[in-house]
Structure 1
Amino acid sequence: MTLESAGNHRVGIIGLGYVGITLAAAMARNGYEVHGVDVQPAVVDALGRGKPQVFEPGVEDVFTTHIGKNIFVSTELPAEIDAAIISVSTPVDPSTHAPDLRNLAAAAETIAKHCSPDTLVVVRSTVPVGASREVVLPPLLAAWGSARLVMAPERTIQGQALRELVELPQVIGGLDAESLDRGLELFGGLCKQLVPVSTLETAELVKLTNNCHTDVIYAFGNEIAMLTERLGLDPLEVVRATNLNYPRPDIAKPGYVGGGCLSKDPYILLSAADRSGHVPRLVAAARTLNETLPAHVAERVVGLMQQDGGSTVAVLGWAYKGSPPTDDMRGTPIAEMTPIFEAAGIRVLGNDPVVSDDVIRAYGGEPVDLETGLQAADAVLVITDHPKYRQLDVKRAFGGSKIRLVFDSWRILDADAITTLGVRYAGLGFEPGVAL
């Protein structure tokens, strides 16, 4: 299928956060004419100069090459576009965890004002089941009398978005048959595989199911780590032996669970389920466990440091993950950790290969280069598995230093080399030699 035959080649993308920017880059690279819209002038100005405000491999190169050619950015949606794609944020309230759909509603109103019934409207944002029909559709019908509407959820992972936007199957649910056909035509010029589903609501639930399932899988690995910590066992040994040549679903390694999706999408699902009269207990329990893990680790690090009289910790990795690398701080473990360190009177030094010094300061750390941090610290807490940390020469990094503790959350360092230097080594669910 070609863009000419599809008739959906001129698209507007409302919301230029991570989802909108990566989609804009992928579509532009595939020949679409992309008009990106955002209400933040600073974002529009930066993108107009080819400088995305988020880190994602390949995106800046695409914007630098295509801006002003087939990528255009503005604070206003242009008229006469073939498709208007909503990719605004749908946060949850930090206290109640209720979804905030004001951005979604505002985007729908903007489209209703600037576009026409011939425009295909695409919901790309993650929303509660029913939101496309209940929040987006009414202003379109009020303005036009009829509408073409699809839900086509974004399902990429940070660090691989441009590849996955092309390679992952694109799920599409339509308001009616004509809407679905238009949606399939639109994404047929981008994706290798299209998965039509029967309704808008089905597509909405697909996205939530993907992320909630992931959250549950990770939570089980963390549950095992909480148990091995108390039993004096090694969770990685348990996981390896459990998975080896066993023809059942693998157990995940323990680890922090954050990011823009996994830290909020379970709450969006819980909200939709509550309206239907069902309580997804497994989803709720998994989210609670994963959210309490960072504070649990910080308390363990404080306890171990107090045994040795340490007062300064070097934290390696401030984004929510390190591989693939990202600068995304949504759901980052450090947000729950620094208040615990501060309350214990522990000085926090911060290093991250991607996150800026200003962001490290904003989260309560003192930015340092890696060598300086390791020389000044009594303890090291590795939060992410960034390739730079994986490559750390342990003997050179810790030899001759005053470091007495290394808490290696992802177990990426050479534990034997560290303990040979007389340094205590621990990790998630793994604290050998510690009396509980």
Structure 2
Amino acid sequence: MKVPFNSKDREVCIIGLGYVGLTLAVVMAEAGFKVTGVERNNHINDLVNSGKAHFLEIGLDARLEQQVKNGNLKSVISIDEVESASVYIITVGTPLVNNSKTTNLEAIKLVSEGVAKRLKADDIVILRSTVKIGVSRNVVKPLLDEAGVEYKLAFCPERTLEGKALAELVSLPQVVGGLDDASTMRASDIFGFLTPTIIRVTTLETAEIIKLINNTQRDLMFAFANEIAGYCDVVGISAREVINSANIGYPRSSLALPGPVGGPCLEKDPYILSEGIKALKGNPALALLGRTVNEELPKVTIENIQLLLDKKVTSQEKLKFTIAGLAFKGRPETSDLRGTLAIPIIDEIKRILPNVEIFGYDPACSNEEISSLGITPCGNLEDVFKDSSVLLFQNNNPAFEKLNLNSLSRLMRQNGIIYDLWSQFDGTSLELSNGVRYGGHGLMYLYNK
């Protein structure tokens, strides 16, 4: 169902056109809303107005271009340039302060102040950024109150999977929590034009915590998988075989497979949850345990590789260490480098293995993006293998599963190592050349065969 042309909420302002804001803007424009995005980054602003996204999401460019051409979506630099809106949706980032792992709310505050200067009676403000519990009521509302008008306020968390946001925005249930019943119903009506299922909750805080506990639960689930991989490595068995076999036909087992855990959500949401609970004198006993395990993976990985190098690879002036897959995840495919474990892995390589030259490749990332990590881009998949002493698969991009390791291993250095953090190949059936060996996280036993 399309938004009626005469709807009082047809004109929408979305502040922040990152991964969350831009996909939402496109889907809302397709639903009939007249969308103006506010994006202070000039480059992103220009790209959006030319119908191009600044990140990879399959199908996004074509759909964005269509809505820009139709006049349903445009981007401006400042909220002062927004001609008219009755709906303000805040989607700016809430990064962590590195040393304290606390939430930086400066962008939220600045945007709230800017919205307050434009608020008219009966406008609605919807907060979609991930925040610690209480921010909507205790930080955003006081700033909006400076407008001196009656308005509606709701929190509607974004819970889409990056790479599938366009599909999930119109299929996932939307959680809505308002300052009052009128705010909840108003926000529900707006999102009802996007998705068939609206879950109305009783408070702003209820809506705020739902996103945080969803992602913290996932972080813990993946952390346990990574710990299982460690168990299997010391026992000398396959973690993939253990986990898959434990899940088959057993309804009370839903173990995940191990691998790197990062990205713009899972790397920070447990900290945001913990910060909010501690501020209320609560005890988030489990929330950060998963982070402890998952953040140890880069160190464990490079220490394992160091041991393997010491045993097999002869000394050379400079070893080539290649990382395949640099984005924080490979499936669904994304170019997003925020929170990727490739960054701490690179730091650990430099710390533990200083006598290496680091190269990188990702089918979804440009050479400029790869160079921004302080490593040398590989031009193609053949260059990934050529002269490498170590090849580390950091994500599971679909392009990798098609590789013929038996053939490509001929390009690697004698006694080279392929270390796979995703167990993407059947290591028991590989016939590699040049003394190259395959194994990795949860598959360390293969190196002893």
Which letter maps to 2:12? V
The answer to whether the 8 Å contact 1:80/1:115 transfers is no
The answer to whether the 8 Å contact 1:18/1:54 transfers is yes
1:411 to 407, 415, 423: 423
1:317 to 325, 335, 341: 325
Residues 419 and 168 (structure 1 numbering): CA distance in 2 closer, same or farther, change over 3 Å? same
Residue 371 of structure 1: aligned partner: 382
Matching of residues 219-298 of structure 1 within 5 Å: 219-298=223-302
The answer to whether the 8 Å contact 1:418/1:424 transfers is no
The answer to whether the 8 Å contact 1:97/1:267 transfers is yes
Residues 226-254 of structure 1: per-residue CA shift (max 9 Å, x gap): 11112212111111121111121411111
How far has the Cα of 1:417 moved from its partner? 4.4
1:392 to 379, 400, 403: 403
How far has the Cα of 1:341 moved from its partner? 1.9
Task: Give the number of equivalent residue pairs.
Answer: 435
Query: SS of 2:224's equivalent?
Result: helix
Equivalents in 2 of 1:31, 1:358: separation in Å?
A: 37
Equivalents in 1 of 2:32, 2:47: separation in Å?
A: 22
Residue 103 of structure 2: aligned partner: 99
Residue 441 of structure 2: aligned partner: 428
2:358 to 332, 344, 348: 348
How far has the Cα of 1:190 moved from its partner? 0.7
2:185 to 181, 192, 195: 181
Matching of residues 186-205 of structure 1 within 5 Å: 186-205=190-209
Mapped pair 1:130 → 2:134: yes
Residue 87 of structure 1: aligned partner: 91
The answer to whether the 8 Å contact 1:48/1:73 transfers is yes
Residue 380 of structure 1: aligned partner: 391
Equivalents in 1 of 2:308, 2:135: separation in Å?
A: 47
Equivalents in 2 of 1:107, 1:185: separation in Å?
A: 24
Equivalents in 2 of 1:360, 1:396: separation in Å?
A: 26
Query: SS of 2:177's equivalent?
Result: strand
Residues 261 and 400 (structure 1 numbering): CA distance in 2 closer, same or farther, change over 3 Å? closer
Which letter maps to 2:430? I
Equivalents in 2 of 1:150, 1:374: separation in Å?
A: 51
Moved more, 197-206 or 43-52: 43-52
How far has the Cα of 1:282 moved from its partner? 1.3
- What is the TM-score when the length of structure 1 is the normalising length? 0.96
Question: RMSD value over aligned CA atoms?
Answer: 1.7
Residues 244 and 6 (structure 1 numbering): CA distance in 2 closer, same or farther, change over 3 Å? farther
Equivalents in 2 of 1:275, 1:174: separation in Å?
A: 22
1:328 to 310, 313, 336: 336
The answer to whether the 8 Å contact 2:405/2:432 transfers is no
Higher helix proportion, which one?
A: 1
Query: SS of 1:11's equivalent?
Result: strand
1:74 to 69, 73, 76: 76
The answer to whether the 8 Å contact 1:79/1:114 transfers is no
- What is the TM-score when the length of structure 2 is the normalising length? 0.93
Equivalents in 2 of 1:39, 1:275: separation in Å?
A: 32
1:359 to 355, 366, 369: 369
Residue 21 of structure 1: aligned partner: 22
Moved more, 165-174 or 230-239: 230-239
Equivalents in 2 of 1:425, 1:85: separation in Å?
A: 48
Q: State the 4+ residue runs in structure 1 displaced beyond 3 angstroms.
A: 416-422
Query: SS of 2:391's equivalent?
Result: strand
The answer to whether the 8 Å contact 2:427/2:446 transfers is no
Residues 45-88 of structure 1: per-residue CA shift (max 9 Å, x gap): 22111122121112211221111510011012324312100000
The answer to whether the 8 Å contact 1:129/1:205 transfers is yes
Equivalents in 2 of 1:220, 1:199: separation in Å?
A: 32
Gap regions ≥5 residues in structure 1: none
Query: SS of 1:315's equivalent?
Result: strand
Equivalents in 1 of 2:84, 2:369: separation in Å?
A: 40
Equivalents in 2 of 1:241, 1:433: separation in Å?
A: 19
Equivalents in 2 of 1:26, 1:98: separation in Å?
A: 32
